[in-house]
Amino acid sequence: MKKGLNKTERYYLSILKANQACSKSLYDCYKEPSTNKTHIDEFIRGECHERNGFGYSILTSNCNFFTCGYFYPASETGELRACIELPTRTLDFAVVE
């Protein structure tokens, strides 16, 4: 069993926690987001809703990609988890306080 968070997980978790006060939407990051960006954003928001997630926010963005994340309770244990969607992979880990 993994003990702590790795450097990448800590980095994105700190951004996600900081964004809870003023979460950023796709339209905060892009004046006119592409159809692909809009579809991905809607898909991930739907995934967040299905998991009873909260705190969805765009974490980083540039002209080509964005990363986003949210918190959710694990269905089996109820422990708080974070899901971070990167352009090439997904980070899903328990939030260690």
Q: Tell me the per-residue pLDDT of 3-58, one tens digit each, with 9 for 90 and over.
A: 678 888 888 888 888 877 777 899 999 999 999 999 999 999 999 999 999 999 99
Domain segments of the chain as ranges: 7-94
CB 68 within 8 A of CB 35: no
Quote the CA–CA distance of 76 and 88 in Å, as a whole number. 27
Quote the CA–CA distance of 91 and 27 in Å, as a whole number. 23
Global model pTM greater than 0.75: yes
